[in-house]
Amino acid sequence: MTEISSLGEFGLISHLTDHIQTANSSTIKGIGDDAAGLEYKEKEVLVTTDLLLEGIHFDLTYVALKLLGYKAAVTGFSDIYAMNGQPKQLTVSVGVSKRFSVEDLDELYLGIEYACERYGVDIVGGDTSSSLTGLCISITCIGAADKDKIVYRNRAKETDLICVSGDLGSAYMGLQLLEREKAVHQGETDFTPDFAGKEYLLERQLRPEARKDIIDILAKNGIVPTSMIDVSDGLASELLHICKQSEAGCVIYEERIPIDYQTAMMAEQFNMNLTTVALNGGDDYELLFTVPLSLHEKIQELDGIHLIGHITDVDEGANLITRDGTHIPLIAQGWTKIVDEDEENVE
């Protein structure tokens, strides 16, 4: 265990980043100056940023720092894919309290670096700082897209088909499972929970992937979606973003929402409504997109893409049609977790 203070700021930066290489032709200058230098020429530059705070976005009781780093990077990549782009560079800022050692930061960076390697992304900058409490991570991801291929949220048209990749709700059930084990084993310092048969749910929560493969499949088939978004806050919330920005309505069918077997089993065990889990569970990092009706047959042939409904006139609103034919309006959810704090005492 090496105390961070033993290295000092510049020693720490050097320790964490000296070995980092860059590989993309768009990276001209990486870590080590006032700013990174990039060259995008005729491509459009995409920029997205995420803030991850301990106790709000992650719980280090059951999340290993390496996996946290991996997930932090992947969530950034996912936003770039959701524009039909390719992530190219990443900056990583980290604030850490005295509770963390140099080895802890090594683990975090290992996960980030591994994700970057897998997805072909260069780490080009960042910031390190001490914090009064806990761990704070800020990620900015920069990507490239052909101007005529960029997909926004606001161009879904009436009759367009609504598609989603993978399955939904599994990451949320993974979180429920981890929270339950944490509660059950409260106070125990060393326990081995039995997650047999639930590995998929844990993997979806702890080690999500961004859907580069879906972007590649669409490109290979010459398909440019009319709108796209990644599912980080839940299907309902993301669909409402598309509808609002496209000034459209939508209909999705309960029976068509893709749900994995383990998700269904866990929801039953936890006595939760499976459709609610799939609609509102976050952290899926699947791609939700719309394509013109004319692509109906082509889309159905593609593996891992599910047709779940269609875009309607804005006056019809955004609705789920249940198995028994009932129309239920979709409702958005975002974070609402505002935590109490002693106003006099920030520590």
234 is an interface residue for its own copies by CB under 8 A? no
Amino acid 273 reads N
Helix/strand/coil for 54: strand
36 is an interface residue for its own copies by CB under 8 A? yes
* DSSP class of 295: G
Using CB under 8 A as the binding rule, the residues of this chain from 176 to 215 that contact its own copies are: none
Residue among 16, 31, 38, 277 that touches its own copies (CB under 8 A): 38
We find the least distance from the C-beta atom of residue 163 to its own copies, in angstroms, to be: 16
Using the contact rule CB under 8 A, the part of the chain among 93-101, 292-300, 311-319, 322-330 near its own copies is 93-101
Distance CA 145, CA 60 (A): 35
Residue among 89, 165, 226, 246 that touches its own copies (CB under 8 A): 89
CA dist 248 → 4, 39, 341 (Å): 52, 37, 41
Minimum CB distance to its own copies smaller for 153 or for 306: 153
Binding mask 272-301 for its own copies (x = CB under 8 A): ------------------------------
Name 92's Cβ contacts closer than 8 Å, sequence gap at least 6.
72, 73, 109, 112, 123, 125, 126, 137, 138, 139
Binding mask 95-134 for its own copies (x = CB under 8 A): x-xxx------------------------xxxx-xxxxxx
The neighbouring-strand residues paired with 94 are 128, 137
DSSP-assigned states of every residue in 117-154: HHHT-EEEEEEEEE-SSS-EEEEEEEEEE-GGG---SS
Using the contact rule CB under 8 A, the part of the chain among 101-109, 201-209, 222-230, 309-317 near its own copies is 222-230
Using the contact rule CB under 8 A, the part of the chain among 52-60, 172-180, 254-262, 310-318 near its own copies is 52-60
Residue among 20, 106, 217, 245 that touches its own copies (CB under 8 A): 245
We find the least distance from the C-beta atom of residue 256 to its own copies, in angstroms, to be: 24
Nearest to 76 by CA among 138, 29, 133, 24: 138
